[in-house]
Structure 1
Amino acid sequence: MDLFAGPGGLDIAATIMGVESIGVEWDDPTRATRTAAGLRTTREKDVAELGPCDPEVADANVLTGGPPCQSFSVAGNREGHQALEDVKRLATRLGGHEDAVTFEAAWKEVKAETDAMSDDRTGLVLQPLRWIMEAKLKREKPYDVIVLEQVPTVLPVWKHYVGILRATGYAADAHVMNAEQFGVPQTRRRAVLIARYAPADEEKTVAFPSPTHQRYRPGAERLPEVQEPEEGRPGEDRQEALFTSTSTDRPIIRWTAMQDVLRDRPADFEVVSNYGSGGDPKKRGRRTSEEPAATVTGKVRRNRVFRLQRTAAGTKQIGEELDRLTLREAGLLQSFPAAYPWRSTDVAQQIGNAIPPRLSLHILSCALGFGEPEEKLLTRLEEWQPPGAGEPSGSA
């Protein structure tokens, strides 16, 4: 059961794994993409109008979701910080209930308060917690596994949810994950919560996927092939490396570069960000084709692409401007299959809002207890074709 499902970053990974899924998505163009990809979507578009007891979704035993993040994307300022604190305060009121009656009363109070907020998206982050509590108290069948993901600024909320879930019978934890460390040709950081229903588990912790690829750092050279796992570094890097891992002795593969997936491009090129610079060209991000892409957003089509030419001295300099990234290429940088059937006119936004399917494969495989995804699953993701692809005209 995928809440706020988007174009299917989690659902397509589940499909590749052979796990049946259904998503809730309110945006019609995004729903069209999901339909073209053969992904099931609920008839009701609004997460708030559904619940775990509804017949269409009542059999689901796994809950995933990435609620809207705009309220927290500026968490460093007063409004963003206040939104985080509001969610944590209201979430506390939803935890600790032993029966459906007291929970329902608490939810009505919380909903009334969120409805009165100036930004109604703040309350959407509480919807997964409502679904979790209703599954246990009203459906009387808790979700076996829960996966929530969002931008890193939401990590304090997920950490707060971890405490509530542990008190509800779940083993749970939350950490920031780096997409390029799992073979995605893009640097993208996501705050991920994984929980598994385990009321008898005293430790209440869960394993997180082990990185399979090199961590990208500006100015760092790409590994020639593989290296032994990093021990962790002081500060933030070490803190992120300390989460419980499924493996500790597997060599690390070099990061996946843009040139590895954008094979129709010249071997050497540079992508120059055309936004987020405050008007100062010197602050525009630059990545060469030997590096992962910067985070793909809904404005990815604004990026400019230039050929890199090697000089007589062996250095590289910017040459002619090339065509900008296509939507298909933007999807590839997100690790969507090349044949993904994007629909409608807002495709760039659909792509930018999605969680990379390759990262989803690692998260879901670990959360469901399968360990690291087998190479054949990763290959299946790359080679995936939409339903009916290659069939004769007129086929069902």
Structure 2
Amino acid sequence: MTHAPHPPRLPADFRIVDLFAGPGGLDIAATVMGLESIGVEWDDATRATRKAAGLLTTTEKDVAVLNPCDGQVKNANVLTGGPPCQSFSVAGNRKGHKALEDVKRLATRLVGHEDLLSFQAAWKDVKAETDEMSDERTGLVLQPLRWIMEAELQKEKERYDVVVLEQVPTVLPVWKHYANLLRQAGYAADAHVLHADDFGVPQTRRRAVLIAQWDPENVGRRVEFPRPTHQRYSKGATRLLERHASKRDQEELLFPLPRKERTPLKPWVAMQDVLTERPRDFEVVSNYGSGGDPKNRGRRTSDQPAATITGKVRRNRVFRLKETRSGTKEIGEELERLTFEEAGLLQSFPRRYPWRSTDVAQQIGNAIPPLLSLHILSSALRLGPPSKDLINKLATWEPKHSDGAADEVLTEDA
């Protein structure tokens, strides 16, 4: 049976509530798209950054205390969120694997209830079990599912039209499980791992993303994810001129296009493309993942995307590269370490983003890249790929109002 296509909708039709909103990696993308978005964020330092950026934030800080019918978020018809991931970042070991399986098992108990009282009884039991877990953050990943199911069963609240969840790649099995559960609840849903550098972010970063769209008559249909616009970085590769995707590229796309519809892939965006106030040739040496062994330190040259930006970004060392007589390049003097503005740029935040407080590196490292958010939201809301003008609008965004510290230089000990 062929279903009628959904009529096109405008940004004004969507109102977002963003759970675990962070400093605004998704909200700032929504803002430049003309979408109404309000974030729920518990950390005071992060809330200070959001305030300086002019982003809406609920007065209540705790996702677990709020519910979909609360006045501040009642009108939202899009739910987004990136729950804390520490419990799952070690999914390769027994403890991390158990956390993933626990969440999948408990999530199943939250779906299929015919009335609110039945759901609330199930949630009470689930919450009691998560409260006894060794890491209380494990239960936070269930909060978006609670919100979705509560909105479905509350008489005074319309269900969410669209759901977008994102986290580290090890959470993909949970998102896949959620997608199956949401199909039972009337959503077309799926989850995949997206690469930030595929979309012009000057950094290699992978995120597990779930997209669900209310469509009870067609829950089995394909959910479109954003298509890559840029060449993906790989070790030993060099940036290519703009070209059509190769056979290998096409095989890696979530939904390969017919040859006649393939669009050119742009070269990856390198560090030197955005860190324009530095010497053009430099190298970043990272301790991330080295285990303290200098031989294992990651190295990226300025013609490559940065490695994943984390809360330890200030530990990275930066060196000038100078050309030798033989034409090779060798490390020269050490340069200033990456500033917060530069770390934000590598995450695709606007240059003038008003970072606040004393834990800025952690705020930046925890955020989803705004440019990646722009592509995800455009696809999830079926608004079409973001235009060049919209991407430029994100890059050149500036806060409308200053809180008196716009030119403050924020630093912290390396």
TM-score (normalizing by structure 1): 0.95
How far is 1:98 from its partner? Answer: 2.1
1:1-396 alignment runs, 5 A limit: 1-138=17-154, 139-223=156-240, 225-232=241-248, 238=251, 241-243=253-255, 248-388=261-401
Query: Equivalents in 2 of 1:275, 1:349: separation in Å?
Result: 14
SS in 1 for 2:326: coil
Q: 1:390 to 1:140 in 2, by over 3 A?
A: closer
| Paired amino acid for 2:303 | E
2:54·2:401 contact (CA, 8 Å) conserved in 1? no
Q: Deviations 1:115-149 (Å, cap 9, x if unpaired)?
A: 11111000000000000001111145110111000
| Paired amino acid for 2:91 | A
2:52·2:402 contact (CA, 8 Å) conserved in 1? no
Query: Equivalents in 1 of 2:295, 2:50: separation in Å?
Result: 39
1:186·1:295 contact (CA, 8 Å) conserved in 2? yes
SS in 2 for 1:47: coil
1:13·1:358 contact (CA, 8 Å) conserved in 2? yes
Q: 1:207 to 1:259 in 2, by over 3 A?
A: same
1:229·1:248 contact (CA, 8 Å) conserved in 2? no
How far is 1:283 from its partner? Answer: 0.7
Q: Deviations 1:58-89 (Å, cap 9, x if unpaired)?
A: 00000000000000000011110000000000
How far is 1:243 from its partner? Answer: 4.2
Q: 1:194 to 1:327 in 2, by over 3 A?
A: same
| Paired amino acid for 2:107 | A
Q: Deviations 1:228-280 (Å, cap 9, x if unpaired)?
A: 123347xxx94x52347799511100000000000000010000002321222
2:225·2:254 contact (CA, 8 Å) conserved in 1? no
TM-score (normalizing by structure 2): 0.91
SS in 2 for 1:21: strand
| Paired amino acid for 1:230 | S
Query: Equivalents in 1 of 2:247, 2:151: separation in Å?
Result: 40
Query: Equivalents in 2 of 1:325, 1:347: separation in Å?
Result: 12
For this pair of structures, how many residues does the alignment match? 387
Q: 1:170 to 1:271 in 2, by over 3 A?
A: same
| Paired amino acid for 2:172 | L
How far is 1:194 from its partner? Answer: 0.5
Query: Equivalents in 2 of 1:244, 1:126: separation in Å?
Result: 33
Query: Equivalents in 1 of 2:184, 2:346: separation in Å?
Result: 39
How far is 1:4 from its partner? Answer: 0.1
SS in 2 for 1:63: strand
Q: 1:340 to 1:255 in 2, by over 3 A?
A: same
Query: Equivalents in 2 of 1:140, 1:337: separation in Å?
Result: 35
1:198·1:204 contact (CA, 8 Å) conserved in 2? no
Q: Deviations 1:261-313 (Å, cap 9, x if unpaired)?
A: 00000010000002321222111000000000000000000000001111111
Query: Equivalents in 2 of 1:230, 1:117: separation in Å?
Result: 47
Q: Deviations 1:327-375 (Å, cap 9, x if unpaired)?
A: 1000000000000000000000000000000000000011111111011
Moved over 6 A (4+): 244-247
Gaps of 5+ in 2: 1-16, 407-414
Gaps of 5+ in 1: none
